[in-house]
Amino acid sequence: MKRGRVGSWGLALGLGFLWVPVLLLVGFAFSADRIPFQWGGVSLRWFAALAANERLIEAAWLSIRIAAGAATLAMLIGGAAGFALARWGGFGGRVLLGGLIGAPLVLPEVVTGLSLLLTFVALEALTGWPEGRGALTVLLAHGTLGAAYVAVVVQARLAGGERVLEEAAMDLGAGPFTAFCTVTLPLMVPALAAGWLLAFTLSLDDLVVASFVSGPEGTTLPMVLFSALRLGLTPEVNALGAVILLLAGALVGLAMLLLRARRVEGQGEGG
Amino acid sequence: MADTLLEARGLTRRFGAALALDALDLAIRPGEFFALLGGSGSGKSTLLRLIAGLDAPDGGALFLDGRDITADPPWARPVHMMFQSYALFPHMSVAENVGYGLRRVGVARGEQARRIAEALALVKLDGLGARRPHHLSGGQRQRVALARSLVMRPRLLLLDEPLAALDAGLREQTGFELRALQRQTGAAFVMVTHDQEEALALADRIAVLEGGRLVQVGTPEEVYWRPATAFVARFLGAANIVEPATLPLKPQVAGAAAYALRPEYIRLTRIGGASDSDLRAIRPSDHRTLGHEETGPNRVMGVVREAAFRGDSTLFVVALEAGGALRVTVHADDPMPEMGERVALAWDPDDLAPLAA
Amino acid sequence: MRRLLILVPVWAWLLAFVAAPAVILLGIALGQSTEGIPPFAPPVGPGLVWQGSLGNFATLFEDEFYFDSLLRALRIATSTAALALLLGFPMALAIARAPRARQALLLALVLLPFWTGFLLRMGAFIGLLRDQGLINGLLIGLGVVQEPLPLLYTEGAMLAGMLHAYLPFAVLPLYAALSRLDPVLEQAAMDLGATPGAAFRTVTLPLALPGIIAGFLLVFIPAAGEFVIPELLGPSEALPVGRVLWQEFFQNRDWPLAAALAVALLVLLILPIRLFQRLESRA
């Protein structure tokens, strides 16, 4: 009907708006021209320039290490909090715990960044740790941010009344600990993995919080990119965009393939 | 024209390669209770949606009072539908739900309130107007849906499996109330159902659908006693389908490929005891009697294989020595055969309903 | 107790890095800026002497520069959220009504740009909008204009960037609300005499309202504190609070004033945040 067509046009418009800038960014990565977004024939020279840009490579490597550490930290804390919130009906301070773990989700980045920096400064003044600011403080801050996302994902996964499965395990002779390890934990794995990935990308993409809490030794990839963008665009940025889109696309494709394989497997069992 | 309210001519609907309705012709009379009976995929729900205008046919036409309404959108048709899920608006109160259609056609506010109260009284929901649908029981929700359609005073009300979502205990009573409402309002009711008992109990006329075609239209008595095809016979209560080739049947009707024989019409006779004795008589008033001799025109031998207790009767499956099996019901008051017992089966030739080839 | 083994580290972490920062932020906002490292005097001095003041908050109210930056941020966040709903609603509706098998792919198409790096996408907008950019190049090449149009560093460029960054946040809750909606309800409305427009207005829209509000807030809240996009694409004067806070902190090194701005922003966002959390807990 008519409204269906309006919706389809809206979808086409929206997807166009989302994708055209991204695709142009990637397309012009292969242009030889020195000026970004100008076509000067096909060339891979900007990918070569990117590979030779030591400052960028170094920052990227640091970002990846911070993101991996922060995501792991987030998975542990967020996973534990999400599990407690979903499975332990009432315990002292449950509401407060839920509010605290979720707070970074709804706070503006500038507020989170500034308040965490002030906390690190106060902590150092009181205890001498963390000594100065840099990669470690960025990792701690990103871990806190990521834990909020992991907790939400885990809580949603466990909320589906699958408690009965644990009870079935215990009925079959498993102790609470064995039941947790053999039933609940496997149930949580997809949520933990999804949460880890979310926290990882969040950390890789964050500029604001990192800028506040970082120090001279903690220049991450977004910080390098931001100063480059402020000074003016270079075609290396296009090349980097192409590389990241390729990686992200490959990851999403892989995840979809894995999901499909699992679904086919599940159907095989069902039929 | 006076005795046709709605007419479908050559109505066809395709879904991809599948034919949901195949050039269907149908006439519904004013003020009758009409049942569309069929299994899933028979096209009965598709037909209902076409009449309501929620779906458009690929061919054919629909006439209401002789006027072509095929191209009319659902909101412009004086035909209303009660959905199987009831489709009550969760964000509106009962009264707002019932008044929804009145607001759409711009009925004055005072008149609205009066008609809402009237419709709620009709379905015995007085005083529940302020409730939200999710605070009602299943039976109450069904009545709200009914009131919401009836308040529009439709000439034709469509009901999609109106009793399917109710508890078994509520179904019978609600069915009687539906009948009463239909008589009271004078509207024609067209009900879709897959439950033959529901159709037989409620409808003035029944249309049996199979594979997008009408296979038989008639009163409940007609379709029950004189099914037109083997499908109708089976669908309306597990009749035996017997073929003249395998059984010695008299009389044979020209053109009949098979016969339907209702299980309660078979007489069982115990064989090999001290004396042969009658075992069955589900219709105690049946005055027809059959001889006890082992051979006869409508008489075969078999062994009792299965038994299913049904309260007022018991169903037996008797494997015939000539091959195949017949289903037989024995009234609870009558003597029962034993499992594995050898029995003779006989029936009155008049109880055979010839089925078209 | 095994539970304590899990709860104690979680509580310790949350108290140290979520609860304490909020208290410290408020504390520093009451403190004073000094020359030193760190460049502020806390409100409680040596020997537990109170030396704090509400001076920073007074400055926010007295100096129009700060007050306007807060209002401006709210206005920009409102425009962004409204635009995101306007574009996101038909998108979510089309996805929710698409065949089941295709919905996952369409959602992935909405989310994938989100994973390609936020700064890189803003870089793409710079490349499109600046004076030597693709759009101006095209316009001049086609002879539509002689001189490049000033596209970059405008409110329009900033809103385009904000919309690009936050559109998926609006589409997701809208999709969740619309895909839960039973299409039979709209059919029932039409059966009762509602035209498609009336059925949409009286049934679909009110039932999707929680999703609409959630989508609005999910864009509005982060957009109100946004720093990067106004900095890279927006005009160089008339700054929103995110940029002002950043300036106070990094350029003027007035940490207490930056903290006061953060507290003020939080106070303004408390109502929307609480509303959002209520919606989430009900869903």
Q: Give residue A261's pLDDT.
A: 63
In angstroms, the CA C74 to CA C80 distance is: 10
> Is the distance from CB of A241 to CB of C120 less than 8 angstroms?
yes
Nearest CA in chain C to A98: C14
The whole-angstrom distance between residue C257's C-alpha and the CA centroid of its chain comes to 22
B5: left (phi over 0), alpha (psi -120 to 50) or beta: alpha
Nearest to B72 by CA among B86, B87, B57, B88: B57
- What is the Cα Rg of chain A in Å? 23
> In chain B, what percentage of residues exceed pLDDT 70?
90
Q: Give residue A271's pLDDT.
A: 30
**C212, pLDDT greater than 80:** yes
- SS3 label, residue C115: helix
Q: How confident is the model at residue B288 (pLDDT cuts 50, 70, 90)?
A: very low
Task: Average the pLDDT over each of B328-337, C120-129, C237-246 and give the range with the smallest value.
Answer: B328-337
DSSP bridge pairs for B330: B314
What is the crossing angle of helices C118-129 and C134-141, to 10°? 20
Q: Give residue B247's pLDDT.
A: 73
Mean pLDDT for all residues in chain C = 91
In angstroms, the CA B95 to CA B147 distance is: 10
Q: Give residue C20's pLDDT.
A: 94
Q: Give residue A86's pLDDT.
A: 86
Q: B62-74: per-residue pLDDT in tens?
A: 999 999 999 999 9
Q: Give residue B81's pLDDT.
A: 95
Q: Which ipTM value was assigned to this complex?
A: 0.91
Q: In sequence order, which residues have a C-beta less than 8 Å from that of residue C88 and are 6 or more positions away?
A: A14, C167, C170, C171, C174, C215
Token representation of residue B67: 């006027």
Residues of C near B (CB-CB distance < 8 A)? 182, 184-185, 187-195, 198-199, 202-203, 206-207
The pairing of beta strand B188-193 with beta strand B33-37? parallel
> Is the distance from CB of A4 to CB of C97 less than 8 angstroms?
yes
C25-282 belongs to which CATH class?
mainly alpha
Nearest to C106 by CA among A247, A10, A248: A10
The minimum CA-CA distance between C191 and chain B, rounded to whole Å, is: 5
Overall average pLDDT of the A2-19 stretch: 82
Overall average pLDDT of the B36-56 stretch: 93
Nearest CA in chain C to B154: C192
Contact B75 C188 (CB under 8 A): no
> Is the distance from CB of A156 to CB of A216 less than 8 angstroms?
no
> Is the distance from CB of C208 to CB of C174 less than 8 angstroms?
yes
Overall average pLDDT of the B218-229 stretch: 88
Contacts of C193 in chain B (CB under 8 A): 75-76, 101, 104-105, 152
Q: Give residue C53's pLDDT.
A: 85
The minimum CA-CA distance between C208 and chain B, rounded to whole Å, is: 11
Q: How many contacts (CB atoms, under 8 Å) link A and C?
A: 239
Q: Does B52 touch chain C (CB under 8 A)?
A: yes
The minimum CA-CA distance between B33 and chain C, rounded to whole Å, is: 20
DSSP bridge pairs for B343: B270, B302
Nearest CA in chain A to C5: A80
Contacts of C192 in chain B (CB under 8 A): 75, 80, 100-101, 104, 148-149, 152
Q: What share of chain B is helix, strand, coil (3-state, %, to 5)?
A: 25, 30, 40
CATH 3.40.50.300 residue spans of chain B: 6-234
Q: Give residue B11's pLDDT.
A: 95
Task: Average the pLDDT over each of A16-25, B209-218, B332-341, C21-30 and give the range with the smallest value.
Answer: B332-341
Phi, psi (degrees; rounded to nearest 5) at C132: -90, 15
Q: Output the DSSP codes for C222-254.
A: HHHT--HHHHHHS-SSS--HHHHHHIIIIIS--
Residue type, C145: V
Mutation choice for C interface testing from B69, B84, B88, B89 by most C CBs within 10 A: B89
Contact C122 A229 (CB under 8 A): yes
Contact B91 C184 (CB under 8 A): no
Residue that has been written with the tokens 């006890």 in this structure: B292
B75: left (phi over 0), alpha (psi -120 to 50) or beta: alpha
Token representation of residue B44: 């009965």
In angstroms, the CA A252 to CA B139 distance is: 48
Instruction: Name the residue among C191, C195, C198 with its Cβ closest to that of B52.
Output: C191
C255: left (phi over 0), alpha (psi -120 to 50) or beta: alpha
In angstroms, the CA A25 to CA A30 distance is: 10
Token representation of residue B12: 């066809």
Q: Give residue B301's pLDDT.
A: 83
Q: B231-254: per-residue pLDDT in tens?
A: 888 888 767 888 777 777 776 777
Task: Average the pLDDT over each of A92-101, A171-180, B43-52, C260-269 and give the range with the smallest value.
Answer: A171-180
In angstroms, the CA C273 to CA B189 distance is: 52
**pLDDT greater at residue A224 or residue A217:** A224
Token representation of residue B225: 């006693």
Mutation choice for C interface testing from B83, B84, B151 by most C CBs within 10 A: B83
Q: Give residue A4's pLDDT.
A: 59
CATH 2.40.50.140 residue spans of chain B: 242-356
Q: How confident is the model at residue A172 (pLDDT cuts 50, 70, 90)?
A: confident
Mutation choice for C interface testing from A50, A119, A154, A257 by most C CBs within 10 A: A119
Q: In sequence order, which residues have a C-beta less than 8 Å from that of residue C103 and are 6 or more positions away?
A: C95, C96, C179
Outline where DSSP puts E strands in chain B.
6-15, 18-28, 33-37, 59-64, 67-68, 79-82, 156-160, 188-193, 205-210, 213-218, 240-242, 256-261, 266-270, 299-309, 313-320, 325-331, 342-347, 353-356
Task: Average the pLDDT over each of A242-246, B150-154, B182-186 and give the range with the smallest value.
Answer: A242-246
> Cβ-count burial of A39 within 10 angstroms (0-12 exposed, 13-18 middle, 19+ buried)?
middle
Q: Give residue B297's pLDDT.
A: 64
Could you state, in order of their start, the residue ranges of all structural domains in chain A? Answer: 53-270
Contact C184 B90 (CB under 8 A): no
Nearest CA in chain C to B152: C192
Q: A180-196: per-residue pLDDT in tens?
A: 888 888 888 888 988 99
- SS3 label, residue B257: strand
Ranked by mean pLDDT, which of A34-38, A213-217, C262-266 comes out on top? C262-266
Q: C48-98: per-residue pLDDT in tens?
A: 778 888 889 999 999 999 999 999 999 999 999 999 999 999 999 999 999
Chains in contact with C, where contact requires at least 3 CB pairs less than 8 Å apart: A, B
Q: Output the DSSP codes for B3-72.
A: T-SEEEEEEEEEETTEEEEEEEEEEE-TT-EEEEE--TTSSHHHHHHHHHTSS--SEEEEEETTEE-TT-
**B110, pLDDT greater than 80:** yes
The whole-angstrom distance between residue A94's C-alpha and the CA centroid of its chain comes to 26
Q: Output the DSSP codes for C10-53.
A: HHHHHIIIIIHHHHHHHHHHTSEE-SSSSSEE-SEEGGGEE---
**B286, pLDDT greater than 60:** no
**A207, pLDDT greater than 60:** yes
Token representation of residue C224: 């109100």
**pLDDT greater at residue B273 or residue C268:** C268
**pLDDT greater at residue A18 or residue B297:** A18
In angstroms, the CA B163 to CA B146 distance is: 12
Q: Give residue B357's pLDDT.
A: 58
Overall average pLDDT of the B128-156 stretch: 94
Contact A3 C246 (CB under 8 A): no
Q: How confident is the model at residue C229 (pLDDT cuts 50, 70, 90)?
A: very high
Q: What CATH number does the domain located at B6-234 have? A: 3.40.50.300
> In chain C, what percentage of residues exceed pLDDT 90?
70
Q: Give residue A61's pLDDT.
A: 95
Mean pLDDT for all residues in chain B = 86
Contact C192 B89 (CB under 8 A): no
**pLDDT greater at residue B257 or residue B168:** B168
Task: Average the pLDDT over each of A32-46, A161-175, B13-27, B285-299 and give the range with the smallest value.
Answer: B285-299
**B220, pLDDT greater than 70:** yes
Overall average pLDDT of the A90-119 stretch: 89
Domain topology for B242-356: OB fold (Dihydrolipoamide Acetyltransferase, E2P) (2.40.50)
Q: In sequence order, which residues have a C-beta less than 8 Å from that of residue A84 and are 6 or more positions away?
A: A91, A94, A97, C3, C6, C7, C10
Overall average pLDDT of the A53-68 stretch: 94
The minimum CA-CA distance between C25 and chain A, rounded to whole Å, is: 5
Q: How confident is the model at residue B270 (pLDDT cuts 50, 70, 90)?
A: confident
Q: C156-191: per-residue pLDDT in tens?
A: 999 999 999 999 999 999 999 999 999 999 999 999
The CATH classification of domain A53-270, taken from the options 1.10.4080.10, 1.10.3720.10, 3.40.50.970, 3.90.1300.10 = 1.10.3720.10
> In chain B, what percentage of residues exceed pLDDT 90?
57
Q: How confident is the model at residue A162 (pLDDT cuts 50, 70, 90)?
A: low
Token representation of residue A219: 């220049």
Q: How confident is the model at residue A269 (pLDDT cuts 50, 70, 90)?
A: very low
Nearest CA in chain A to C258: A114
Overall average pLDDT of the B181-205 stretch: 94
**pLDDT greater at residue C190 or residue A246:** C190
Q: Does C45 touch chain A (CB under 8 A)?
A: no
Instruction: Name the residue among B89, B90, B104 with its Cβ closest to that of C198.
Output: B104
Q: Give residue C34's pLDDT.
A: 83
Give the burial string for C189-199 (b: 16+ CB within 10 Å, else e): bbbbbbebebb
Q: How confident is the model at residue C1 (pLDDT cuts 50, 70, 90)?
A: low
Token representation of residue B259: 């016969």
Mean pLDDT for all residues in chain A = 86
How many of the other CB atoms lie within 10 Å of CB of B88? 23
Q: Give residue B1's pLDDT.
A: 43
Half-sphere exposure of B104 (CA within 13 A, CB side): 29
Q: In sequence order, which residues have a C-beta less than 8 Å from that of residue B204 and are 6 or more positions away?
A: B32, B33, B34, B219
